[in-house]
Each structure stands twice: as structure tokens, then as C-alpha cells.
Structure 1
Amino acid sequence: MKILIVGGGRVGASAAEYLVREDNDITVIDHDEACLKYLQSRFDLRVVVGSAANPAVLEQAGAADADLLLALTPSDEMNLVVCQLCRVLYQTTTRIARVRSSGFARYGEDFLREHFGVHRVICPEAIVTDYIDRLLDYPEALQVIDLAGGRLRLLGVRVRYDGMMVGKKLREIREHLVDIDCRVAVIYRGERPIFPSGDTKIQEGDEVFFMAATANLDKVLREWCGQQRRVKRVIIAGGGNIGYRLAKQLERDCNVKLIEHNANRATWLAEHLHQALVFQGDATDEKLLDAENIDEADVFLALTNDDEDNLMSAMLAKRMGARKTISLINRAAYVEVAQGSRIDIAISPAQRMIGPLLATLRRGDVVGVHSLRHGLAEVIEAVVHGDQKTSHLGGRQIADVALPTGCVIGALVRGDEVMMAHGETVIADGDHVILFVDNRRMIPKVEKLFQVKLGFL
């Protein structure tokens, strides 16, 4: 696809990095020439210096031929204006805008589509906040992904020594969960993926990705990780958009403390948060963490805009006794290094944001795309259309589907019914299929599975 990205900052650069890997034709517009030179030195893409609100700049960037516009500058107003220009002047097929202000967002996507030509709105800060909130619902999870409108969830967990399944074969899970069905899509033992059978023996330290109906997750989690302990005491470092949003969501149910370095911002936070306690200070200050009883914290969240500060404060908090640490990391090179050390979970905002963009790019009726293991794997939710004559999937048993190497169908959602995938399960027209893809090079083959054949009407 020919993709025009407006904004070469963190969000735009992250989108460009990911989309270039998929062999798209990328052009980035930004007024910062140094930023664009840096992008061009790293990736195979075109750059145009200037304001995208100027039709001459859009023309130079090839907006007339673009299949997709991503307006990702920090300015909501700029993003909306660019979408409107591309609708009126070029009839760009798909227009996506980053909108952070609740003043715009509260009118809904229909309003923005009608008046500004925005097909889809993304807010990276809201996406990351909601994702962290889901992680806190399941303290032992490394990753939590909502599927089928929240009726089904995929969790990644590291098997603990006191988990009931340690040393047992996978088929034995049914002895404990008699009335509950779950599906293990893949097990990572170190860096090696294992596509399990009933005879696969579970080991302590295995990273297991499984799917289950949301209502059954607590019971399933006990099998892997032992008794769950709810999050009650939270310390947040960083009172920016994400830190504030999260504190606002958590303060009703948890004891929340928020540390903010900037004095003016700390005052603003104290005025706008009703129950959370706000402290002005440095989250890498050992004395401050000790004074605020870091050793009693269930979770310490490092959510500033500085990767190095996040890494240092999270590692310090873990050493001082915080039960779990979660750190926001913008630089991709840091994410792999950070997670699994003293930092329990490293979150890349770019990888959380990229899912909605990839769902737009994927061929077939794709509802959602979710990145796993820092972009190495994906979970795709797509709708099947057609029967045996017009579809590669419809009307067939799962065992009869020729799946690409490294791909596993984990579950089906039919109406309100969630069904774990088994070999004899028949896929029907209209089913939402949840498919795990270990190797992203297989994505084109997966897309073909969901494309209808000639003769489908």
C-alpha cells in the first residue's frame, strides 16, 4: 500500500518502522528536518519537509495516490485538518487520525467522520492506559488481549513453581477444569515456540499463551500460576497523560500514589485526582520510595516520557521490594532487554498502537490484530464469509484446513457463543476466527484464508 504518515515524532516514527517491515510504500511529512533525516537514515521511506496543512506539501508527498493516510502529529487540530483536506482534495481511501483531547473524542467517531473525514480515531495514550488496566486485573499475566468484544481473552503467563500444571501433561488440565474449556495456542520455552499436544509436559518457567472465555479466566489462571492476589496498592511514577488516566481509573478501587517531578503538573494532578495521593519528587529517589513504603506496593508503574528514568526507577522499586514492576519503554531496542530482568513487564506504546493500524491493512474482513512477544508474533481476529465452494474456511472442520506453518486456530466466536477450537469443530459463515501466527512472514498466506473465492456474492 501507499501510506502517507503525517508526523515524524514518536508515534509517527513507530508506525513507520512497523509498516516499512511489511513492504509498504511510506512517505512521512513533518516540519522538523532533523527528525526526517533520522528516519530516512534508518528506514526505506520518503520524507517531505513542511506543514501537511498546506495542500502544496500534500501534493509533493503524493497524497493524490495514497491508499492510507495516518495523521499522527501531537496536534489534534492538525490531524483533523489534514484528514479533511485529503477527503476533499484527493478522496484518500482510508483516513486515520490521532485524537487525544476528550473535547473532540466525546463527540464520537461518527461526528469526526461526517465533519472531518476521519474513518478511524486512535489515541495511543488511551490504548496504553486500557491495556495496563487489563494487566492489573490479572497480576500474574505478562500479556492480556481482549477478543470478540471482550467475551474472550488471550493471556500470556509464566508458569510458577506452585502452579497445578507443573510437571503434568497438558491433557490433565481437564481433570481440574471439568466444566471449563480453554485452549493453549503456544508455549515458549526460552525462545523456542512449542505448539502443544495433549502429551506436552508443562515445566516451571514456561511462557504459556492460552485463550478462555473471560468469565472463566480466574479459574484457569490458578492452574498455571497458583492462587491469585489482587492488586490493592499501586505506585505510579509519572503524571503525564497515561499516568493521570490510569490513576483516575484506579483510584476508586485501589490505594494509589502518584509521583510527579514537575511541581506545576503535580499541583494540577492533586486538584484533579480525588483519592489518589500526589507527591512532587523524583521516582529514582531511594529515600522517597522508602518513605512511601515501596516494599508494600503490589505494583510499581514507571510511566514517564523518559525511557532511562523508567528503567532505573522500576529496577530500583523491584530491588526495594515492590511485588511487580511495569515500565513504559518507547525505544524498541530497550524492550527486549528490560522485560524479564528486574522489570516484570515492559510495555511498548508503539506495539500497543499498531494493532488498529494493522487491522486496516490486512486483507479480508479483519476485526483486530494484536502484537505478541514484542512484535514477533500476532493474534488475528477475522470474520469468515462463504461456504465450502466460496471460502477457504467456511463449512470445513478445523482439522481439514491447510494452515500455514506456525499458525494455530485457537477459538471461534459464533454470535454470543465462545467455542475453543478442536479438530472436529466446523467453521461456519459469519464466525469470528481467532488465529495465532508465530511467524509474521506467514501473514500473506493467512490473509488468503479469509479472502472469498470467485463466485462469492
Structure 2
Amino acid sequence: MKIIILGAGRIGESVAESLVSERNDITVIDTDAERLRQLEDRFDLRGVVGNGVEPLVLEEAGARDADLLVACAANDETNLVCCKVAHHLFQVPTRIARVRSPAIQSDANLLGRDGFAVDRVICPEDSLTRYILKLVDYPEALQVREFAGGRACLVSVRAVAGAPLVQHSIAELRECVPGTDMRIVAIYRRLTDEPDRFIVCEGHTRIEPGDEVFVLSAREDIPKVLHALHRHDETRRPVRRIMIAGGGRVGLRVARQLSGPDRDLLVKVIERRPDQCVALASGLPSDVLVLQGDATDEDLLAEESVEHIDLFLALTSDDEDNIMSCLLAKRMGARRVLALINRRSYAELMHGTQIDIALSPAQAVLGELLAYVRRGDVQAVHSLRRGVAEALEIVAHGDRKTSRVVGRPVGEIKLPREAHFGLIVRGLPDVEEGATLPEMAPEDVQVIVPHAETVVESNDHVIIFIPRKRLVRDVEKLFAVSATFF
């Protein structure tokens, strides 16, 4: 696929790195020649120096035969105009724009074909906010990713000694956790001074304390999944007190969502800049406490009783400050800490530290982009383990004569080794690729944990866990519909 990326910032760089690794033809446009030269030295891509809203620059970048434009420059207006020019002059088939403004995001007419011609809006700040809100709803989880319009979920959880399923094999799941339909698709085992090791999930595979376990289940079964792997008693301590370090774009959005009328939470925001503190105090509800200070100040954290905080969120634009404030808060007694980290190398260094979750803005939006790169009717993609693994929701089409999967039992379908059939969601309406699934009564939709004899039907939404990205193409070929396949 031929892809043009506008903007060589952190988001653009991460998108380019991920897409180049899949052997796409990538061209990056930016006004910073030195930045482009560094990217060309690191990755197999081409840089074009210039303003992406100018037709001559887009033409030089190859817009006339491009398949996809990802406009992720720092300025909303630049991204929107670039999409309009790419559509109007070059007929680029798919155009994705990074847009921060909520007012623009919600205006369908402005973004439509007669407006700026944007097929999909991405906003890292919104993606991060959704991610964090899930951690508030499910405090035992490391992450919760949704499929099939939220009807199915992939949960990542750290196994704790004493939980019902820990120290047992996967084959003993039904015996240890009766009445719960879930599929364990991956285990990453923590090792000293080494990267986590991927453990193939087979019946005899035993879950050890400290393992990061990926589980697919229906949304309503998530509490049971968390109990099976993380809690060894019936008590559940909800998130009640939250401290946010950083009142920038991300911190403001998160604080605003957490202070909603339907959430009974105590939220504190620590911001270093006095003028931004004034803006936060005027823009947030009165029950949110805004403090002017440094989140790496031990005295300030002590005064604000950080030892009673359920979730500490370091969301500044400075990776080093986020790391240090999280480590300090954890040492002082915060129950759980999350650091926002832009540099991939820093995220790797967090392995084995006291930081519970290291979150990258680029990784948060990468899955939304990958859904447009994948071949076939792909409804959702979630990039996992810093881009190494993926969970893919793909719709099965055709019949037994034209498809390698439709009309066949799961046990006969030859997935690549280590990839897993996770769930099948059946009964969803047939919608256009990329369209939002409508609301439906729960009884009209089935979330099935497939077994060897389960037969895949046309229009089934199949969720597959892929531990290594090089296996993605094999899965796409498997689901391709062919008029000549018998």
C-alpha cells in the first residue's frame, strides 16, 4: 500500500515506523528538513520537505497514486485542508486527519465529502482518555480493548497468587471458574533482566503469578475474568481517589471526564504553570481540586496524602517528569500509577519497574489507523505489546465454495501457528466497512467462545489474537473471498 503521512512529529514517526515494518511504501511530508533526514536514516521511507496543503508538495509525495493519506501535523487546520486538497485534486481514496477540536470532530457536515472530505478523525488525547476511563471502571486490568461495538472485550491482567485460576492450567479453567465463558489467548511471562517471554496457550499451559494474561470475553463477563486472575477474595476496591500530574490537553480531558455527574470520584490536578492552573480552575467543575506545584515534589505529594490515592496519572508532556513522579508516588504508597511516555525506548525501560502502566499516545491511536491498512473487512484492530502483537476483528464473507473459513468448523481452519481464534460475535447487521454498528438488543447478538466443532458463518465477526505482526498477512489471506476457491 502506498501511504502519505503529513507531519514528522511523535505521532507521525510512530505511525511511519509501524507501517514501514509491514513493507508499505511510505512518504512523509514535513517542513523540517533535518527531522525528515533523521527519519530517512532510520527507516525505509522517503521524505518530502514542504507544506502539505500545497498541491505541488502533495504531487511530489505521490498523491496521484496514493492509497491512504494520514494527516497528523500539529495543527488541525493544516490536516483538514490537506485532506480536502488530496480528495479534490488527487482523489486519494482514504483520508485520515488528526483533529483535536471537539467542535470540529462532532460536525459530520464539516468533515463530510462536501466539507473537508475526512474519512476518519483520530485524536490521541481522546484515545488516551478512553483508555484511562476503562482503568477506572476495571481497576484490576492493565488494559481493556473493545470489539464489535463494545459487546466483546480483550482484557490484559497481571496474575496474582491466590486467584482462582493462578497456578492452574488452562485446561482446568472450567473447573476453577465455572459458568464463565472466556478464552485465554496469550501469556507474557516476566523474566529478570530480559524482555517478557511469550508463552503459547495450550491446555497444559500453567498460569504463574506475575504473568500478563490476555483474555477475550463478552463485556458482561469482565468482572469474572478479573476475579479469576487477580482477586482471591470477593471484595473489590473501586477507584475513588485520583491524582493527575499535568493539566495540559490530556490532563484536562481526563479530569473533565472523571468529574462527570455519573462518577463519584475525588479528583486532584497538579499543574506547574500558574496561568494554566487558572484556566483549569475555571474550566473544570468546582469539585475538582487544582493545585499549583511540581508533581515530583515529595513534600507536595505528602501534603496531598498520595498514600491514599487509588490511581496516580502522570500526563505531562515531559517523559522524564512522568517517570519520576510515578516512581515517587508509588514509593510513597499510591496504589496504582500510570505514566504517559512518548519515547518508545523509555517505554521499554519501564519493564520490571514499579510503574504499573506505561502508555504511549501513538500506540493508543495506532490501531485506529491499522484498520484502514489491513486487507479484508476489518472492523477493529488493537496494537498490543508496543506494536509487537495485534488483536484483529475481521468479518467472514462468502460461502463454503468461495471462502476458506465460512461453513467450516474452527478445528479445520488453518490459522498460523501461535495465532488464536478468540471469539465469534454473531447476529450483527451487515454494515459498510468502517461504519458504526447500530444499537441492538443483547438477545439478538451472540458472543461465542469457539471450540473445534464451532462452524463459522457468513457475516460472523471473528476476533483473532496475533502474537507477531508478520503473521497478519497470512490471516488476511485466510479470510479473503475468492471466486475460484473450491
TM range (shorter): over 0.9
1:166 aligned counterpart, secondary structure:
coil
Task: Please show how residues 345-384 of structure 1 align to structure 2 within 5 Å.
Answer: 345-384=357-396
Is structure 2 residue 233 aligned with structure 1 residue 222?
no
Is structure 2 residue 248 aligned with structure 1 residue 236?
no
Note if contact 2:109-2:115 (Cα within 8 Å) is conserved in structure 1.
no
Give 1:455 shift. Answer: 5.2
Give 1:189 shift. Answer: 2.3
Task: Please show how residues 17-28 of structure 1 align to structure 2 within 5 Å.
Answer: 17-28=17-28
Q: 1:284 aligns with which of 296, 321, 340?
A: 296
Deviation larger for 22-31 or 423-432: 22-31
Amino acid at match of 1:105: Q
Aligned partners of 2:16, 2:39: CA distance in 1, in Å?
9
Give 1:422 shift. Answer: 1.2
Task: Please show how residues 34-53 of structure 1 align to structure 2 within 5 Å.
Answer: 34-53=34-53
2:210 is matched with which residue? 205
Task: Please show how residues 33-432 of structure 1 align to structure 2 within 5 Å.
Answer: 33-108=33-108, 111-190=111-190, 191-226=196-231, 227-252=235-260, 253=263, 254-274=265-285, 275-415=287-427, 416-432=445-461
Give 1:255 shift. Answer: 0.5
Query: Could you report, residue by residue, the CA deviation over 1:28-75 in whole angstroms, capped at 9, with x for unpaired residues?
Result: 111122222222222121111111121121122221121111111111
1:386 aligned counterpart, secondary structure:
coil
Aligned partners of 1:269, 1:323: CA distance in 2, in Å?
25
Aligned partners of 1:5, 1:373: CA distance in 2, in Å?
23
Deviation larger for 435-444 or 52-61: 52-61
2:479 is matched with which residue? 450
2:112 aligned counterpart, secondary structure:
helix
Aligned partners of 1:157, 1:28: CA distance in 2, in Å?
37
Aligned partners of 1:281, 1:351: CA distance in 2, in Å?
29
1:382 aligned counterpart, secondary structure:
strand
Note if contact 2:111-2:117 (Cα within 8 Å) is conserved in structure 1.
no
Query: Could you report, residue by residue, the CA deviation over 1:375-421 in whole angstroms, capped at 9, with x for unpaired residues?
Result: 11110000000111111110111100011122110100002110112
Note if contact 1:52-1:82 (Cα within 8 Å) is conserved in structure 2.
yes
Identity of aligned residues (%): 51
After superposition, the Cα gap between the structure-2 partners of 1:259 and 1:422, relative to the gap in structure 1 and judged at 3 Å, is same
Note if contact 1:173-1:223 (Cα within 8 Å) is conserved in structure 2.
no
Aligned partners of 1:99, 1:171: CA distance in 2, in Å?
46
Give 1:319 shift. Answer: 0.7
Amino acid at match of 2:272: H
Aligned partners of 2:236, 2:468: CA distance in 1, in Å?
32
Note if contact 1:27-1:61 (Cα within 8 Å) is conserved in structure 2.
yes
Aligned partners of 1:406, 1:203: CA distance in 2, in Å?
19
After superposition, the Cα gap between the structure-2 partners of 1:340 and 1:132, relative to the gap in structure 1 and judged at 3 Å, is farther
Aligned partners of 1:296, 1:112: CA distance in 2, in Å?
48
2:114 aligned counterpart, secondary structure:
helix
Amino acid at match of 1:395: G
2:437 is matched with which residue? none
Deviation larger for 117-126 or 37-46: 37-46
Give 1:197 shift. Answer: 3.1
Note if contact 1:140-1:228 (Cα within 8 Å) is conserved in structure 2.
no
- Relative to the length of structure 2, the TM-score reads 0.91
Query: Could you report, residue by residue, the CA deviation over 1:122-145 in whole angstroms, capped at 9, with x for unpaired residues?
Result: 111101110111122211212211
Give 1:14 shift. Answer: 1.4
Query: Could you report, residue by residue, the CA deviation over 1:197-223 in whole angstroms, capped at 9, with x for unpaired residues?
Result: 333332211221111111111122111
Aligned partners of 2:2, 2:167: CA distance in 1, in Å?
51
Aligned partners of 2:111, 2:187: CA distance in 1, in Å?
44
Give 1:109 shift. Answer: 7.3
Note if contact 1:391-1:452 (Cα within 8 Å) is conserved in structure 2.
yes
1:115 aligned counterpart, secondary structure:
coil
Note if contact 1:145-1:153 (Cα within 8 Å) is conserved in structure 2.
yes
Aligned partners of 1:114, 1:354: CA distance in 2, in Å?
27
Note if contact 1:139-1:228 (Cα within 8 Å) is conserved in structure 2.
no
Query: Could you report, residue by residue, the CA deviation over 1:418-452 in whole angstroms, capped at 9, with x for unpaired residues?
Result: 01121111110000000010111111101101110
Give 1:349 shift. Answer: 1.1
Amino acid at match of 1:424: E
Unpaired runs of 5+ in structure 1? Answer: none
1:375 aligned counterpart, secondary structure:
coil
Give 1:19 shift. Answer: 1.0
Give 1:93 shift. Answer: 1.2
Aligned partners of 1:396, 1:114: CA distance in 2, in Å?
44
Query: Could you report, residue by residue, the CA deviation over 1:208-248 in whole angstroms, capped at 9, with x for unpaired residues?
Result: 11111111111221111114321000000111111111111
Give 1:196 shift. Answer: 2.6
Give 1:170 shift. Answer: 2.5
Note if contact 2:164-2:177 (Cα within 8 Å) is conserved in structure 1.
no
Aligned partners of 1:427, 1:113: CA distance in 2, in Å?
36
RMSD of aligned C-alpha atoms?
A: 1.5
2:133 aligned counterpart, secondary structure:
helix
Aligned partners of 2:169, 2:381: CA distance in 1, in Å?
31
Give 1:257 shift. Answer: 0.4
Give 1:111 shift. Answer: 4.0
Segments of 4+ moved more than 4 angstroms: none
Aligned partners of 1:144, 1:199: CA distance in 2, in Å?
26
- The number of aligned residues is 456
Aligned partners of 1:174, 1:439: CA distance in 2, in Å?
28
Aligned partners of 2:149, 2:177: CA distance in 1, in Å?
24
